[in-house]
Structure 1
Amino acid sequence: MFEKVAGLPGHVLVVHAVVVFVPLLALLAVAYGVLPRWRDRLGWAVAALAVVTPVVAWVATESGEAFERVLRDGGYPPEILSQVETHAAYGDRLLWSTVALAVVAIALLLATSGRARARALPSWLPVVLTVVAVGLAVLATVYVYLTGETGARAVWDGVV
């Protein structure tokens, strides 16, 4: 599953979507929380990204595991495989931080929706959700960097 797309490793292609979508979800979820005036404009984008981004991150993780199996079977040197393991560990953390950010973003959307049930919620809840969203946004963005950096090093160290 997800091993090859048009003859290329699927992982190599899908990671680019993760590099774009995760920081975009992070930025828009934080903006939605801290800029109430913009909520009407940002809500649809936050909702769409909160659904799509974890799926893309999951596909990247699954395709990365398939790619790692190919590398292991291909007899790559242990030092490269060690770098790939580090990359994979960061990728797993990226997936879960992205899922958490998406859940909090959706909760923030629901808590600020203006519906009767949302108005019955405590007034401090959107503030708490915004603070949590900021923390998760920073965490997910850091993991995008660390995952990408370790993956690039595994591929390009000694080549360039």
Structure 2
Amino acid sequence: MFEKIAGLPQHVLIVHAVVVFVPLLALLAVAYGVLPRWRDRLGWAVAALAVVTPVIAWVATESGEAFEKALRDSGYPPEILSQVETHSGYGDQLLWATVALAVAAIVLLLATSGRARARALPSWLPVVLTVVVVGLAVVASTLVYLTGETGARAVWDGVV
């Protein structure tokens, strides 16, 4: 059975952290890449978010799978379960997009760290990494929207 916190399914609470942390990672990673003068100020935040955000996304995915199983076992109507499956598919894609964004952000941090190894890297590498980060930020942010929208529709269609 799925876990509850204060009487609410754990998944319902955790997804709110994903809705905040993924776009925040996307925004700060893009700012880090596009605004070199801010790198000293943003580096620590991007690094922390790149570590924490995929973990939160994974916890949300796992709790969602347990919640979905509980819904199936309790005999929810097929049309709602179909919506939950769509939501779950977007959630799985969001997890991988978040991991990819986090890895790209960390590689960008390392490539621009100023260490001797980083100075030996080609000068075009941070530009390419920034383009990758921007692309992944767009994908991850879009998936946050799609996952949240389909989850909300599964819950609220026909209720309000």
TM-score by length of 2: 0.98
Q: Could you tell me which residue of structure 1 aligns to residue 49 of structure 2? A: 49
* CA RMSD in angstroms, aligned pairs only: 1.0
Percent of aligned pairs with the same residue?
Answer: 89
1:122 alignment partner, SS class: coil
User: Aligned ranges for residues 69-88 of structure 1 at < 5 Å?
Assistant: 69-88=69-88
1:93 equivalent in alignment to 2:93 = yes
Shift of 1:6: 3.0
CA distance in 1, matches of 2:63, 2:121: 40
TM-score by length of 1: 0.98
Residue identity opposite 2:147 in structure 1? T
Q: Which runs of 4+ in 1 moved over 4 A?
A: none
CA distance in 2, matches of 1:66, 1:21: 22
What count of residue pairs does the alignment treat as equivalent? 160
CA distance in 2, matches of 1:124, 1:4: 49
Q: Structure 1 stretches of 5 or more lacking a match?
A: none
Q: Could you tell me which residue of structure 1 aligns to residue 29 of structure 2? A: 29
Shift of 1:117: 0.4
Q: Could you tell me which residue of structure 1 aligns to residue 38 of structure 2? A: 38
User: Aligned ranges for residues 127-138 of structure 1 at < 5 Å?
Assistant: 127-138=127-138
1:155 equivalent in alignment to 2:155 = yes
CA distance in 1, matches of 2:143, 2:80: 20
Q: Structure 2 stretches of 5 or more lacking a match?
A: none
Q: Could you tell me which residue of structure 2 aligns to residue 18 of structure 1? A: 18
* Residues 2-51 of structure 1 deviation map (CA, whole Å, 9 limit, x = unaligned): 62223321100000000000000000000000000000000000000000
- Whether the 8 Å contact between 2:98 and 2:140 is mirrored in structure 1 is yes
1:120 equivalent in alignment to 2:141 = no
CA distance in 1, matches of 2:2, 2:84: 18
